[in-house]
Structure 1
Amino acid sequence: MYDPRPVLLVIAHGSRDPRHAATVHALTRRVRSLRPGVRVETGFLEFNAPAVPQVLDRLAAEGVRDVVALPLLLNRAFHAKSDIPAVLRQARPRLRIRQAEVLGPAPLLLTALERRLYEAGLSPSHKRSTGLVLASAGSTDPEAIAVIAEIARELRHTGWCAVRPAFASAALPRTDDVVRELRSTGVDRVAVAPYVIAPGRLPDRIEAGARAAGADVLAAVLGPSAELARVLLTRYDESRAALPLAMTA
């Protein structure tokens, strides 16, 4: 029987680090638990299986008509603008696909980020005496860098005494440099918050920089958090609402 609800295809980058795929699958399980009526599939751009084209081929063979393809990305950069659209174009006209917006920025992501900091040992009362490093993967895309800088400014207005962006690759400054910079301002403590979804090479680089520079607190990655799962479903709902009536009836 035809299901009018589009399939939610979560598209992750993929990694040689097995923790990456494990985290992605844990997140999609959480999404399914929050919305059991929606079919959720996972595809990877590289390194992990199934690859996105394989998932799309299978969905088309099953007679699926409509798909919301959701990039598992916090920022709109090269993968969201180029790689993913190119892969999705290969599936048309067999499937009707709408690419959802990336996950960030979103207030729930900042809620998840701060919760990871509290889980790592901070408390809300520490915010006014703590310098925070917002550490992201990095990008060569100026738009993506600007978004991270804007998120840092937003966090600063929530009570942290200082917030600085840092990048694990492709852009400067690096995490260790920002930790040292904040330390030089005389803050009581310096915390590093990885603004990344899953473990892997770049998050490991963030961790190494934080430890080398003597950060007092290092939060975990966002991971399969409830907040992140809710953002996924919000992006799905936004894309589904924008589909033509014939696709959402």
Structure 2
Amino acid sequence: MTALVAVAHGSRDPRSAATVHALLDVVRAMRPSLDVRASFLDLSVPLLGDVLRSARADGHRSAVVVPLLLGRAFHARVDVPGAVAEARVPALDVTISDVLGPDPRLESAALRRLASVGVRSGDRSLGVVLAGAGSSHAPANAAVSSIAARWAAGAGWAGVEAAFASSASPDVTTAVARLRARGARRIAVASWFLAPGLLPDRVARLAGDDVVVAPPLGPDPEVAELVLHRYGAAVASRLVHTA
């Protein structure tokens, strides 16, 4: 069977890798027969190339690399293909799946995380910030903004603003100020991050002590389901192209 090699960015924060492993434990529980392996681009181990070489050494002839990324920014477009090419694993057919986002299952997970800190739809006194990493690649930021706009139209809150931890604007402080200027008496931050780390911590710090901050998406069952969906689509695509 084709191995599933999930690849995350990696972080010096041990909570990040622990969350990735927890998510993949949920994936394994959903597909016990599937060989699911964790890897990282940088800062955490094992690195993607090492895991691909290990999969081949264990007898696999094909693998699907599933980027645990929420959008198609630099890591997805450059770093992941570069790491696969650099690995140069003979006799291992490697396919890279699409990234996780955008997808309604991620939105559902983010809303569940908000609900876990007491946020409910229909609260007209509440403003919500949807906070993502931010990117120099404008379409990646636009995808987050479009989700915020969709929530603003349907959730019944005082307003929803997208914000970014780096490389894009507005930042969280600005988004919070905009919501308060529009009459929001309370603020909550929804996390558009897969795992804890430097950028989610920056978001929480900028939000302020009086703002409720939801945890990252983490080992949510729908996120795990999405990982399997991306894997399955890549396997099907590879079979079509090789038939």
TM range (shorter): over 0.9
Aligned twin of 2:220: 225
- Percent identity between the two aligned chains: 42
Aligned twin of 1:240: 235
Residue identity matched to 2:227: L
Contact in 1 for aligned 2:161/2:175 (Cα 8 Å): yes
Aligned twin of 2:117: 120
Question: Which of the residues 65, 68, 74 maps onto 2:64?
Answer: 68
Could you tell me how far 1:147 is from its partner in structure 2?
A: 1.1
Residue identity matched to 1:205: R
Question: What is the TM-score with the length of structure 2 in the denominator?
Answer: 0.94
**Structure 1: where are the runs of 5+ without partners?**
none
Question: Which of the residues 35, 50, 55 maps onto 1:59?
Answer: 55
Contact in 2 for aligned 1:66/1:247 (Cα 8 Å): no
**Structure 2: where are the runs of 5+ without partners?**
none
Could you tell me how far 1:124 is from its partner in structure 2?
A: 3.0
Q: Counterparts in 2 of 1:92-171, with a 5 A limit?
A: 92-126=89-123, 128-159=124-155, 160-171=157-168
CA distance in 2, matches of 1:83, 1:53: 12
Residue identity matched to 1:60: R
Could you tell me how far 1:70 is from its partner in structure 2?
A: 0.4
Deviations 1:86-123 (A, max 9, x none): 11123354311111111011111111111111110122
After TM superposition, where is structure 1 displaced by more than 6 Å over at least 4 residues in a row?
Answer: none
Aligned twin of 1:44: 40
Could you tell me how far 1:152 is from its partner in structure 2?
A: 1.3
Deviations 1:135-193 (A, max 9, x none): 00111111111111111122223223311110001111111121121011112322111
CA distance in 2, matches of 1:105, 1:161: 24
Could you tell me how far 1:245 is from its partner in structure 2?
A: 5.3
Aligned residues: 241
- Worse-superposed segment, 221-230 or 11-20: 221-230
The answer on 1:204 being equivalent to 2:201 is yes
Question: What is the TM-score with the length of structure 1 in the denominator?
Answer: 0.92
Residue identity matched to 1:37: S
Aligned twin of 2:3: 7
Aligned twin of 2:24: 28
- Worse-superposed segment, 147-156 or 89-98: 89-98
Deviations 1:29-71 (A, max 9, x none): 0100011121100111111111111111111222211111000
Query: Cα distance 1:142–1:196, how it changes in 2: closer, same or farther (>3 A)?
Result: same
RMSD: 1.7
SS state of the match for residue 124, structure 1? coil
Could you tell me how far 1:130 is from its partner in structure 2?
A: 2.1
CA distance in 2, matches of 1:177, 1:208: 13
CA distance in 1, matches of 2:197, 2:169: 19
CA distance in 2, matches of 1:33, 1:88: 27
Query: Cα distance 1:140–1:55, how it changes in 2: closer, same or farther (>3 A)?
Result: same
